[in-house]
Structure 1
Amino acid sequence: MGRIFKEQTSVDEALKLFLENISPLRKTEEISLEVCIDRILAETVVSERNVPHYRRAAMDGYAVQASDTLGASTTNSIFMKLSNYVEEGVTKWVHTGAVMPVEADAVVVVEDTVTVGDTVEVRAQVYPNKNVAQVGEDIKVGDLLFEEGHLLRPCDAAVLASIGFERVKVFRKPIVAVIPTGNELVSREKVEDIPPSGMVLETNGLMVSLYVEKWGGIPRYTRIVPDDKESIKKAIEENLDADMILFSGGTSVGKRDYTTEVVASMGKLLVHGIAVSPGKPTALGTIGKIPVVCLPGYPVAEVVALYLFVHPGIRRLASIPDFPKLPLKKTLATKISSKIGYVNFIRVIFEGDRVRPLTGAKAGVLSSVSKADGFVLVPQNVEGYEEGEEVDVFLIE
């Protein structure tokens, strides 16, 4: 087993191979607009309605025939009669969104008028259609509004509601089995006090599950699986209806690290050993059509693997569009050291306009991720950065 890490696959190569073995899910479901945010549209939407469907006032004011306001200004007022209809020399009050009188073709905003009794003093000239929303001005019948694969936002839900939608067809979220492994793990549900020496609370599975949910999947957080081949195999067999399987722990080269061996025996191990620090023991594979990620047991290494492989894997399964993740440009308060030959995941904290790397942030120190504001990825061919250099900082979500 020790030979497996003599040559590590680059991050880019590993991700490319992993994504090539993931097929997007195409199963759909209908959901209400109230819960559609961040879901992926599974249909093309063409409007069957005009919005607005009637000619309406776009401002509070007075509906008029524009020709009646010719020459009106603050120094040349025009006086009109206020009534409940519009004709030459006669105006009617309208509020924003109100139906425009058929005879009116413009609205004088209330700020440009003075009203005394049933007389309106107009102090501004308007032209035809001024402050009037025409039929279909927003959306016309036949307009293509959204294409399949669109990531729905709150503004999109409002547009769909405006054309009469109450429900929308979206792609189903992927179900992701999260399987923690390790004889040293103790369930948080079964321990009320500090675990005995040599035992630790199982927290990685919780973290992984929450990231899965945040990134668009449905986590299936399973019981703790002991470090033996049959138990790991049984856990896989119980989750073959999932769309992705994530193991937490058991990926290294120790005597009790069986996860990758079992995955290889039941499917195909694509990669084991990746040139990233921390996170080298990460393994990627497939069982049938199900992508499998074996995450390192050290929590920070697990976070790295989650960001680099699980997040893009879930996006591929769920057909979530690839939006560029824009980094922040920040200046280093102190130098960054890194291992040559590995992509290095460096946690940093903000200090005004600068960032400072966290010291003593080992792969097993999970609190270093919570303390960090972001991280810097140092390429494998770069041996760190000097104080004062500008670097790309990615926020920790």
Structure 2
Amino acid sequence: MGRIFKERTSVDEALQLFLDSFSSLRSAEEVPLEVSAGRVLAESVISGRDVPHYRRAAMDGYAVRASDTPGASPANPVILQLSDWVEEGTTIWVHTGAFLPEGADAVVMVEDTVTAGNMVEIRAQVYPGRNVGQVGEDIKKGDLIFEAGHFLRPCDAAVLASLGMDRMKVFRKPVVAVIPTGDELISREKSGELPPPGMIIETNGLMATLYVKKWGGIPRCTGIIPDHPESIKEAIETNLDADMILLSGGTSVGKRDHAPGVVESLGKLLVHGIGVSPGKPAALGVIGKTPVVCLPGYPVAGLVALYFFVRSGIRKLGSIPALPEPVLRKRLAAKISSKIGYVNFIRVVFEGERVRPLMGAGAGVLSSVAKADGYVLVPENVEGYEEGQEVDVFLIE
């Protein structure tokens, strides 16, 4: 590679090139329902039973024959006798969800009754089926419950449990190797010591690892790799059994920036230099069937690359549907300036019903993300936004 970025690829084009370079895993595994939330079904689910499988009371009250209640009202109650079964002139107490006794076809709510000894005044007329849950009212045998590719939520697991299931076949989570590089990095194991000038504690690997886990992957973080092409090459080759590789650092065009060149020597470098700020030095490639993302060493630039490319890559590998992001519509409390030709990632904080851009928040100022409530994406063809203008605000994950 040259010492300058000769080309700058748009975010959308870079993402499409990247996603087109590899295939979804589509391999499956069985997991217990207790850990199924957040997983993706690998097969459709057809109900093998009715839910409920019996007629049940939908209210606390008295099970009756509806034909015994015509004209019943507070002024003209019908008197029924408490019994152990339901037939003409008798009734049984039932609670919500209880099996409805044979002979009964309705339930009178307790609020519409008065009990005196073993006699019950029915003060409301009911019709057949009133306050009764019928067989299969919730789910019928043979119903399609979920299609393959459905993203399981806790409430979905409860539905599956009601069908008598205890394990589900889901797509395997992609394994993502996270490889921090840089001669200036110090392991977090030594974080109690103040690093000498020019040295910093390695934190990008931790951030990438946690986001990989949050987005549905299985992170595998290596130790720190020095800024030597052979060391980086060896680290990549050792981790080619992973489903995706993330290289952190060494992506720019300086003398110690070797990551994109090493990727190109082992496979195909798809993109180096992307129209996003911060994050321009990011690179994307593929080695064999393994996608590779080279994350810039500046923390915020690395975060942007994680958001734009790694999250989408994990979703494709794991067949994870893209769920809608919460987006807030807010007015700006101050002007936003941006670079034409770049998608600009602007961190903002909430001020009442407005948002204010964080000032002095460079690509290397990671704390600016922790201070931010969300971010605004300014398109590459827009030269900023004016104070008072409405913008879409995405929440920081």
CA distance in 2, matches of 1:289, 1:236: 13
Structure 2 residue identity aligned to 1:347? R
Question: 1:230 is matched with which residue?
Answer: 230
The runs of at least 4 aligned residues of structure 1 exceeding 3 Å deviation read 1-4
CA contact (8 A) 2:326 2:395 kept: no
Residue identity (%): 74
CA distance in 2, matches of 1:299, 1:208: 10
Q: CA RMSD in A?
A: 1.0
Question: 1:292 is matched with which residue?
Answer: 292
Q: How does 1:105-124 map to 2 (within 5 A)?
A: 105-124=105-124
CA contact (8 A) 1:52 1:137 kept: yes
CA distance in 2, matches of 1:114, 1:366: 68
CA distance in 1, matches of 2:4, 2:87: 88
Question: 1:268 is matched with which residue?
Answer: 268
Q: How does 1:11-160 map to 2 (within 5 A)?
A: 11-160=11-160
Question: 2:308 is matched with which residue?
Answer: 308
Q: Which deviations, in whole Å up to 9, do the C-alpha atoms of 1:46-93 show, x marking residues without a partner?
A: 111111111111111100000111111222211111111111110000
CA contact (8 A) 1:346 1:376 kept: yes
List gaps (5 residues or longer) in structure 1. Answer: none
Q: Which deviations, in whole Å up to 9, do the C-alpha atoms of 1:228-280 show, x marking residues without a partner?
A: 01100110111011000001100000001111100000000000000110000
CA contact (8 A) 1:4 1:272 kept: no
Question: 1:180 is matched with which residue?
Answer: 180
Q: Which deviations, in whole Å up to 9, do the C-alpha atoms of 1:354-396 show, x marking residues without a partner?
A: 0000010000000000000000000011000000000000000
CA distance in 1, matches of 2:337, 2:17: 29
CA distance in 1, matches of 2:123, 2:5: 82
CA contact (8 A) 2:106 2:132 kept: yes
Q: Which deviations, in whole Å up to 9, do the C-alpha atoms of 1:6-52 show, x marking residues without a partner?
A: 32000010011111112111111111000000100011111111111
CA contact (8 A) 1:84 1:93 kept: no
CA distance in 2, matches of 1:211, 1:323: 16
The alignment partner of 2:337 has SS state of coil
CA contact (8 A) 1:25 1:319 kept: yes
Q: More displaced, 23-32 or 291-300?
A: 23-32
Q: How many residues align?
A: 397
Structure 2 residue identity aligned to 1:300? V
Q: How does 1:352-371 map to 2 (within 5 A)?
A: 352-371=352-371
The alignment partner of 1:385 has SS state of coil
Q: More displaced, 341-350 or 130-139?
A: 130-139
CA contact (8 A) 1:22 1:313 kept: no
Question: 2:279 is matched with which residue?
Answer: 279
The alignment partner of 1:173 has SS state of coil
Structure 2 residue identity aligned to 1:214? K
- The verdict on how the C-alpha distance between 1:375 and 1:191 changes in structure 2, with shifts beyond 3 A counting, is closer
TM-score (norm 2): 0.98
Q: More displaced, 139-148 or 73-82?
A: 73-82
The offset of 1:3, in angstroms, is 5.5
Q: More displaced, 279-288 or 94-103?
A: 94-103
CA distance in 2, matches of 1:4, 1:73: 88
The offset of 1:98, in angstroms, is 1.2
TM-score (norm 1): 0.98
